[in-house]
Amino acid sequence: MRAVPKRRLSSFVVEQRFCKSCEICVALCPKKLLAMENKRPVISDPGECTLCRICEIHCPDLAIELEESADE
Amino acid sequence: MSETRYMQGNEAMAEGAFAAGARFFAGYPITPSSEIAEIASRRLPAIGGIYMQMEDELASMAAIIGASLAGRKSFTATSGPGFSLMQENLGLAKMLEVPCVLINVQRSGPSTGLATRPAQGDVMMARWGTHGDSSVIVLCPATVQDCFDLTVRAFGLAEKFRTPVIVLGDETVAHLREKVEIPDAGSFDVYERPAPPADGEYLPAGGGDDGVSPLAVLGGRPLLHVTSSMHDATGRTNNEPANAAWLIRRLWNKIEKHADEVISTRTFGDEDAALLLVSYGGSARAARSALDLLGEAGCRARLLELLTLWPFPAQLIREESRNRRLVAVPEMNLGQLVREVRGCSESPVLSVCKSNGEPLEPQEILDGIKEALR
Amino acid sequence: MSRSKFLDMGALPHFWCEGCGNGIVLGAIVRALEHYGADPEKTVVVTGIGCTGKLDDYVACHTVHGTHGRALPVATGIKAANPDLTVLAVLGDGDGATIGGNHLLHSARRNIGVTAVLINNFNYGMTGGQYSGTTPQGSRTATSVYGDPEPAMDLCRVAEAAGASYVARSTVYHGAQLQRFIEQGLSKDGFSFIEAVSTCPTYFGRLNRMPSPVDMLLSLKDRAVAKGSGEAGTPGIEGKFEIGVFADKGLDGFSTRYADVQRTAVAWAQARPAVARQAPAKGPGKGHWEIVLAGFGGQGLGLAGQLLGEAAVEIDGRYASQVQAYGSAARGGFAKSETIVSSDEIKYPGVTRPNLVVALSEEAYRRYAGRVGEGCLLIVDSGVVADVAPGVRGYPISEMAERAGQPQSANLVALGLLAAISGSVSPQALEESIRKRLPGNRGALDAFRSGFGLAEGPAC
């Protein structure tokens, strides 16, 4: 059986100019990885991110952009 | 080359539209313009065109704006009550600068009034019916030939000035049958919409102080952004007072400062006659006969027939009104165009009004003038 | 990758409030368009007025921002004019369902191939949070501080009942599902209606005890239930409502059906024999005739007048004009048709000095009896008026029509009669005119000829 490469979060970027600090991303993250710092969300443990993209999809300001890469 | 036909005014307006290249009609049936919708519903699908019967006149005006932006020459037809409903989206067409033609066949009002009977009570409404400052082009047929020719002209002016153009008919001319020469297709000029360059900076709402920008087509390049909100030359919303002053003024100037390219009139009778009649539409036909009656009564008269009501030909009327004993304005309303004539006439002005749902007759014009000259 | 080429990054940050659901719907729309494979040059987003109406500012394709409530008919005109375009109408609950309600019904009914995304945040946000047609009864809004007295409408049921081919509802809490529904909607031929239940924390939320964007969003999670659970009602702030696809009927869109209309119209035009029109030749008719045909509505007076004018102008090369007047009844009231035939251009087309009146009813006779002697010849159908005044000529017009087996053709008998008496238009031109307008109608020609022949005989 071939191993499936694990996808991982390679970057979590918040466009500071767009974010209006509504905290929806913080509330919706299923793994509670986000918290507000200086009115902007930051991710505590990127390795735990499952790339569900719920934060990205539900950011009303389109401020969040995730990039993923596959482990070799 | 042309074909000699005996045709109804409404039919001639519809045929004029098709001859000018109109391939989209959206409307709602209303007396006395319903024949136009019926003819459009039969003729358009046979020539690659589309007829849509919308749920009301608000939707009709909106749909012809959409169709024009998508590249089809488009028109609608209505009468007073429908014309009232169209005002907001007529203003939208002015603000978005969308070429389209609105035929209003006037009937006796106010409100439902006499649906089948004539009047000329929408003259001021055609000019000022939309809120805010704006200009508009309004053409007025007096004959069935005019119904054809002016409708063709309306489409050309709409494209040239990127504006809605109103063809303001009345029930007498719309339901009149008479001789008309229909020119063969291709034998006359039709003004086609200029295209903007596909690449480079595109300013959809540009045009300097009194001009227009070419209109991009939805579905092509460049991308078109139009908005009913105050906007700048890029077409995007702009709330700055200086920009508002510029746009409001440009929309006004693009027609008002080019009135001489739009105004069209016809004259009958001697230049130096003591009496001048200024008339339009169905009333002008009565005025033509009234010239003969006046002549028989020993009073030489001249008739200035307006084929363009707006922009109002003030300078022309100022000149024509010089050295006259009287300037009479016969119309089928309680005196609408006469207000404009009073504003520029250099001789005394008489209003000859009729507003009872019956066509104005030549004898009534004679009687009105005789009464005033006593 | 959340962003798409349909998002105009240069236009952000958007102007909507913090936590406004509109931004989530914007994201769903631009990702749906991208994933669907739409081409920005062939895509048009149409909006109206309101907070939702500002969505056009943020998309990178063609955009049209119109008047309040009228995005759907503008979108209709665009799509009908060019069915190859992808047309998306983005509506608020005011724009799309209240002021625009009628257009929602008819867009659904005619299944215009537009995808409508209606953002329902239960109030008119832009103008300060007044209630709309979807505001739940009892809610507090800027114009219902005592509680909204009006119930809300279930737009998905309305759209489905009106005939929409694809109807779905999701919420801004269910962003991935919302995107998927929009994408499905884009792929349909008919009208697609997707309701996105959304949040307005600044007005509706604050006035109804949900001022935090997070609270308002999370409230949707529990109240939105999958379709079919049976316990749901109209979307509101208490109780459950269904999300899911309510209709997916695969109906043809307007443009598909109109293409059939065009094919039929072309086929009919090709099947019709071409009307051979020759240039008019100067016919023998003469004189200036002002002719009145009077009777009652339904007698075909207008047709007779039209035939006379067509013969005069199109064949005999003369001038003619015709006006008509009817009472309001389609049948039965007094009616007349006035035709002028002349060698000169006609100035005033109404009859002012009639020289020939044909009366086909008693009332018509009474109205014109006083005109005899003003250079006016009055002819009457002796079948309707027995005792005629001196100077009036009676002819058995309706009797001739009955005898010809065409009782409804008294108008054509009258036409023949007046043609013979006036000499205004040649009988050949009139017969050709009748053949053109009433092809294959032998009875019409017979009636005309019998009327023409009446003139040679004695009047009654």
Token representation of residue C395:
């002819």
Q: Which residue in chain A has the smallest CA separation from C10?
A: A18
| B257 within a domain of the structure (yes/no) | no
Give strand pairing partners of C46.
C64, C89
The distance in angstroms from the start CA to the end CA of chain A is 16
Examine the pLDDT at C102 and tell me if it is beyond 60.
yes
Q: Which of B132, B166, B183 is the last residue of a domain?
A: B183
| B72 within a domain of the structure (yes/no) | yes
Enclosing domain of residue B134: 2-183
Do B30 and C43 touch, CB atoms closer than 8 A? no
Q: Which of B125, B160, B183 is the last residue of a domain?
A: B183
In the numeric block, the tokens 């006969």 are attached to: B289
**Which range (B128-137, B167-176, B182-191, B228-237) has the least confidence?**
B182-191
Q: Are residues B18 and B146 in the same domain?
A: yes
Closest residue to C213, CB basis, from A22, A57, A64: A22
The whole-number average pLDDT for the span B326-353 is: 98
| B20 within a domain of the structure (yes/no) | yes
Question: Could you report the per-residue pLDDT of B293-333, keeping only the tens digit for each?
Answer: 999 999 999 999 999 999 999 999 999 999 999 999 999 99
Examine the pLDDT at B139 and tell me if it is beyond 50.
yes
For residue C213, which residues of chain A lie inside 8 Å, CB to CB? 22-24, 60
Instruction: Work out whether the CA dihedral C49, C54, C57, C58 comes out positive or negative.
Output: negative
Q: Which of B152, B183, B214 is the last residue of a domain?
A: B183
Determine contact: C24 vs chain A, CB below 8 A: yes
Examine the pLDDT at C86 and tell me if it is beyond 60.
yes
* Interface subset of B 132-171, CB within 8 angstroms of C: none
The domain spanning residue B352 has which CATH number?
Answer: 3.40.50.920
**Which range (B65-74, C111-120, C277-286, C405-414) has the least confidence?**
C277-286
Question: Could you report the per-residue pLDDT of A17-30, keeping only the tens digit for each?
Answer: 999 999 999 999 99
For residue C31, which residues of chain A lie inside 8 Å, CB to CB? 57
Question: Could you report the per-residue pLDDT of B71-92, keeping only the tens digit for each?
Answer: 999 999 999 999 999 999 999 9
**C-alpha C244 chain-centroid distance:** 34
Examine the pLDDT at C2 and tell me if it is beyond 60.
no
Do C235 and C56 touch, CB atoms closer than 8 A? no
The whole-number average pLDDT for the span C414-441 is: 93
3 state DSSP class of B233: coil
C interface test, pick of B38, B61, B176, B218 with most C CB neighbours within 10 Å: B218
Whether C13 sits inside 8 A of A22 (CB atoms) is no
Which pLDDT score is estimated for C328? 57
In the numeric block, the tokens 């009104």 are attached to: B321
Q: φ, ψ for residue B310 (rounded to 5)?
A: -135, 135
Q: Are residues B8 and B143 in the same domain?
A: yes
Do C134 and C155 touch, CB atoms closer than 8 A? yes
3 state DSSP class of B344: helix
Examine the pLDDT at C382 and tell me if it is beyond 50.
yes
Examine the pLDDT at B196 and tell me if it is beyond 90.
yes
Question: Could you report the per-residue pLDDT of C129-176, keeping only the tens digit for each?
Answer: 999 999 999 999 999 999 999 999 999 999 999 999 999 999 999 999
| B213 within a domain of the structure (yes/no) | no
Examine the pLDDT at C367 and tell me if it is beyond 80.
yes
Q: Are residues B34 and B150 in the same domain?
A: yes
The CA-atom distances, in angstroms, between A10 and each of A62, B111, B220, C239 are 19, 69, 38, 41
Q: Return mean pLDDT, chain B.
A: 96
Which pLDDT score is estimated for C326? 67
Give me the residue spans of the domains in chain A. 18-70
Which pLDDT score is estimated for A7? 87
Q: Are residues B175 and B308 in the same domain?
A: no
Q: Are residues B12 and B159 in the same domain?
A: yes
Number of folded domains that form chain B: 2
Which pLDDT score is estimated for C456? 75
pLDDT band at C331 (very low <50, low <70, confident <90, very high): low
Which pLDDT score is estimated for C281? 84
Which pLDDT score is estimated for B159? 97
The whole-number average pLDDT for the span C36-52 is: 97
Examine the pLDDT at C460 and tell me if it is beyond 60.
no
B in contact with A (at least 3 C-beta pairs within 8 A): no
Token representation of residue B133:
């400052």
Do C44 and C78 touch, CB atoms closer than 8 A? yes
What domains, with CATH codes, occur in chain C? Answer: 9-257 (3.40.50.970), 289-454 (3.40.920.10)
Q: What string of DSSP letters covers C354-412? A: -SEEEE-SHHHHHHHGGGTTSS-EEEEETTT-SSPPTTPEEE-HHHHHHHTT-GGGHHH
C in contact with A (at least 3 C-beta pairs within 8 A): yes
Examine the pLDDT at C1 and tell me if it is beyond 80.
no
The domain spanning residue B75 has which CATH number?
Answer: 3.40.50.970
| B209 within a domain of the structure (yes/no) | no
Q: Are residues B169 and B274 in the same domain?
A: no
The distance in angstroms from the start CA to the end CA of chain B is 51
Task: Using 70 as the pLDDT threshold, list the residues of chain A that sit under it.
Answer: 72
- State the CB neighbour count (10 A cutoff) for residue B348: 13
B in contact with C (at least 3 C-beta pairs within 8 A): yes
Q: Are residues B179 and B272 in the same domain?
A: no
Q: Which CATH class is domain A18-70?
A: alpha beta
Q: Are residues B32 and B174 in the same domain?
A: yes
**C-alpha C88 chain-centroid distance:** 23
Q: Are residues B316 and B172 in the same domain?
A: no
* Interface subset of B 258-297, CB within 8 angstroms of C: 285-286, 288-289, 292
Cis peptide before C13, with omega less than 30 degrees from 0? yes
